[in-house]
Amino acid sequence: IHDLLQHLPRSSSVAIIDVDDLQKELFTDSGAGTLIRRGYKLINRNSLKEFGNPDLLRNALLRDPEIKAGKLSVASYLKHLETAEFRSYGDEPLEVLAIVLQNDKVPKLDKFLSSKTGWLNNVTDNIFNAIKKDFKSLCWIVNENDANLSWYFSKSDGSFAKNGEILFWYGLNTDEITSLIKEFEVSAIGSSLSSAKESGVFSTPQQKRGFHQSTTRFHPTSNPNPPLREGKNKEKRKVALIGARGYTGQNLIKLIDNHPYLEISHVSSRELEGQKLTGYNKDNIVYSNLQVEDIQKLEENNDVDVWVMALPNGVCKPFVDSIDIVKNPNSKIVDLSADYRFDTTGQWIYGLPELNDRSKIAQAKKISNPGCYATAAQVAIAPLKDYISGIPSIFGVSGYSGAGTKPSPKNDLKVLTNNLIPYSLTDHVHEREISSQLQTQVSFMPHVAQWFQGISHTINIPIKKGSLTSREIRNIFQERYQGEDLITISGEAPLVKDISGKHGVVIGGFAVSSQADRVVIVATIDNLLKGAATQCLQNINLSQGYGEYEGIPIEVVIRG
C-alpha cells in the first residue's frame, strides 16, 4: 500500500474493505472499510537557501493574486526575503505556503498561499497550528471578499475591518491591540490584499514592509461619537453612594476602590447602618442611613462631588429634590434606576456613552444610567436603524442577579434550577426604554435563568429585502463602533458564560435569512457591570473630566 500511495496523486486514498461491504464503501458517505492516505510532512525554513526545489517555491508564489496581476514579480519578492527575517511553513509539495515576517514587534503573516487541494485536505489547518505553536502572537490581513473568510475568523482572537480589509490577530494584550489598530488605520500592512478562490493571500509591497510604508490610506474614523479617552482633571473627587446594599452598589464600590482619583465619602443603606463597608480599602467607611435633610446639608457644605442613586425604581425623587434645592453648580447626580430615563424636561441626560453625545454627558448636572437589558439591545440595533422595515423582537435572558437581592421566585435557585422563567412579556420598562431611545418600536420578552450574572439577547430585526448581506451588516457595526473599548464585534454568536464578570458588550451572529429580509443578532452583556456599575463609572468619569475608561481594569474587558 505504501508503494502504491507513493505513485498516486497525493489526494488519492486506499480503502481496505470486506468484499461484502463494497457497495457501502462505494455508495455511502461513511464508507465501510479502513481508509489510508498519504500524509503531509510539514517543513519550516528560515532562509531561501533551505528550499531544495526553487521551482516549487516559485510555483507556490504564483498563486498570489498580485503576482498573477503583474503588480508584483516573483523575483522582487524573493529579493525582499533575502534581507528579511522570516520563517516559512509548507508541506513537501508546497500545496500550502505560509511566510511569517519577524521584523516588527508583532510578527506578521505575510503570505498564506494554498491550492484548492491544500484547503480540501486540511493542510491549511496543520500549517496554521504549526505557526501558532511557534508564534504566541500574530497579525495578518485578509480581503473582506476572501472565500475562506470564516476560516480566518476561527483562527483569530479578534479583528478590525476598514475599507474592505480585515485585520486579524491573536495573542495580543489590550495595549498591543490598540497600537496595532492605530497603525492599521494610518496605513495598511502592505498593499491591497486580494484573494483568489484557491488561496488566502496576504500580499506584500515591493519594498521592505512596515506599517508606515504603504501608500494605502484610510478614511478618518467612521464613529461619529468616539470615546473621550484623555481626561484633563487629575484632582480627587468624592462620591456618595445612596442605596449601596445591592449587587450594583457592591460592584461600583470595587471599581471606585481601584480608581486613581475617586474616593467614597458616604455610603447609605437603611439595612446596613453602622456596619463597616467591605470591599473598600482607601478609608474606613461605615454605612449610614442618610435622610433627605442630611443630603441637603452635605450638598450645602459642598462635601460631595458625585451623588450616585442606587435605589429601587420610584424611590429616589425626594433625595434628588433635596440636592436641587441647594442649587450647587459643582455636584453631579447619576441615577441608576429607571425613574429619569424618560425625562422630558431636559434636565436629565441619558448616559449611554457609545450612542449618546459624550460631550453632553460630560456637561450634564443629572445623568440617568441606562438599564442593563436596554444597553445591550440598543447597541445591537442602533447601527441598523436606517434599514429596519418592521418591529425588532428581542428575546432576552438574564442571570438571576438581575432580579435584585429582595427574595422572589426570579432569584430563588430552587425555582430556577433546570428552568427558564419568562416574565413581563409585554410592556416591560426596558421595552419602553429601548423604543424611546431608538425612536422605533421594539418588542421585548425578558426571561431569567439559573446563572448568576450575564445577559444574552437574541434579536430578530426585519430589514428591507435584499438591502444587506451578513458581511455588510458586520462592516456597519465595526465602523460604527470603531475605537470603542467596551464594544466588541464578533463573527460568531457570543456566549453568555464568556461575558460574566467582564466589562463590555459583545455583538455577533449577523445571520441573514434566505429571503434576505431579516437579520438575527446576538448580544451579551454583564448586567452588573457594563449593564450598571461600569456604565455608571463611565458617566462619572465623563462628568468629572477624567478619561472615560479610567478605573476600568483592562484585563477584564471582554474581547470577543
**What DSSP string describes 379-391?**
HHHGGGGGGB-S-
pLDDT band for position 411 (cuts 50, 70, 90):
confident
- The structure's pTM equals 0.63
pLDDT per position as a tens digit, 137-153 = 999 998 887 878 878 88
* DSSP string computed for 139-183: EEEEETT-TTHHHHHHH-SEEEEETTEEEEEES--HHHHHHHHHH
Return d(Cα 136, Cα 425) in angstroms, integer.
Answer: 47
| Residue 297: predicted pLDDT | 97
Reported as a pLDDT band with limits 50, 70 and 90, residue 193 is very low
Alpha helix stretches (DSSP H) within 270-371: 292-300, 317-326, 358-363
Residue 188 has pLDDT above 60, yes or no: no
pLDDT digits (tens, 9 = 90+) for 422-450: 999 999 999 999 999 999 999 999 999 99
Residue 261 has pLDDT above 60, yes or no: yes
CA dihedral 263, 297, 359, 258 (to 10 degrees): 10
490 neighbors 461 (Cβ within 8 angstroms): no
Lookup result for grid cell 460574566: 500
- Residues 103-108 have a mean pLDDT of 88
Is residue 367 within 8 Å of residue 332, measured between CB atoms?
yes
**How much is the pLDDT for 33?**
54
Residues with Cβ within 8 Å of residue 374, at least 6 apart in sequence: 430, 433, 434, 437
Q: What is the mean pLDDT of residues 238-245?
A: 91
Work out the pLDDT band at 189, boundaries 50, 70, 90: very low
- List the one residue out of 437, 402, 407, 374 whose CA is nearest residue 527: 402
Q: Which three cell numbers stand for residue 50?
A: 533551505
Q: What does the mean pLDDT of the chain come to?
A: 87
pLDDT tier at 21, thresholds 50, 70, 90: low
Q: What per-residue string of b and e applies to 337-357 under the rule 16 or more CB within 10 Å gives b?
A: bbbbbeeeeeebbbbbbbbbe
Tell me, what's the pLDDT at 97?
95
Distance CA(498)–CA(524), nearest Å, equals 9
Highest mean pLDDT among 1-15, 387-401, 471-485: 387-401
Query: Strand 518-525 relative to strand 455-462: parallel, antiparallel, unpaired?
Result: antiparallel
Q: Which of 69-73, 262-266, 549-553 has the lowest mean pLDDT?
A: 69-73
Q: What is the pLDDT of residue 134?
A: 94
What torsion, rounded to 10 degrees, do the Cα atoms 313, 314, 316, 321 define? 150
Q: Which active-site residues does the annotation give? A: 372
Report pLDDT for 197: 34
pLDDT, mean of residues 356-360? 95
Answer whether residue 458 shows pLDDT above 70.
yes
Kindly tell me if the per-residue pLDDT of 357 is higher than 50.
yes
